[in-house]
Amino acid sequence: MIPAKEALERLQDGNRRFISSIKSGTATERRFELTQVQKPMAIILGCSDARVPAEIVFDQGMGDLFVIRVAGNIVAPSQVGSVEFAAARFDTRLVVVLGHSQCGAIQATIEELQQPSNQSLNLKSIVDRVRPSVEPLFKTELRHDLKALTRQAERANVSASVNHLRHGSEVLERLIQKNGLRVVGAEYSLETGMVEFFDGVE
């Protein structure tokens, strides 16, 4: 466990290194361009998990991705609004819902379904959004194989978020029909580093 004071110092040191790289010219031009306008090529709705930073996973630089991160890559009104904003304001035409293996929100939901607990209302709101993707799996043979159930739940949760974005917003539906917006699902493997696209990819 890193104490808060040390974590803050590390962030401050990191920002000083960033500023130094700007002054040395390695990022000056790009950073100046981004003060004028941003044109991200993709919108990523991903999980907050510290092990899945979208810019690094996809090897992209500053300004390339519009990243929205929330535990369990769930879709709630604020996430939908963020996607709408980026798609409409910046003409970004690709949305990727990025789940990942070993997702804590999926695990918390499975645990809640196995044995209900007294979670905070805020955590419960996340679990309740994941639950519809997980609960039906307990009625299948997967209930006998927790590892397989978890993997299927991770993908089902991504697909549910993809579906919500495709059909739960008039703005996004219009952009899909008239402007070529695509919403696809993907899963990042913590074990291999590979991202597999599996929903909405042709």
> Mind listing the pLDDT tens digit for each residue in 134-146?
999 999 999 999 9
Do the Cβ atoms of 171 and 84 come closer than 8 Å?
Answer: yes
Instruction: Assign 19 a pLDDT band (cuts: 50, 70, 90).
Output: confident
Q: What is the mean pLDDT of the chain?
A: 92
pLDDT at residue 38 in the model:
85
CATH match of 39-199 with 3.40.50.11610: no
133 closest CA partner among 160, 115, 165, 105: 160
| pLDDT, greater one: 28 or 180 | 180
Residue 199, H or E segment: strand 195-199
pLDDT tens digits, residue range 73-120?
999 999 999 999 999 999 999 999 999 999 999 999 999 999 888 889
Bridge partner list, 54: none
| pLDDT, greater one: 37 or 106 | 106
94 closest CA partner among 119, 126, 130, 58: 58
pTM summary value: 0.90
CA dist list (Å): 59 to 19, 37, 109: 21, 21, 31
pLDDT tens digits, residue range 137-170?
999 999 999 999 999 999 999 999 999 999 999 9
Chain-centre distance for alpha carbon 32: 27
What angle do the packed helices 170-179 and 77-90 form, to 10 degrees? 30
Q: Where are the domains of the chain?
A: 1-37, 39-199
Cα distance between residue 77 and residue 92, in whole Å: 19
* DSSP letter for each residue of 140-178: SGGGG-HHHHHHHHHHHHHHHHHHHHHHS-HHHHHHHHH
- CB count within 10 Å of CB 25 equals 8
pLDDT at residue 184 in the model:
96
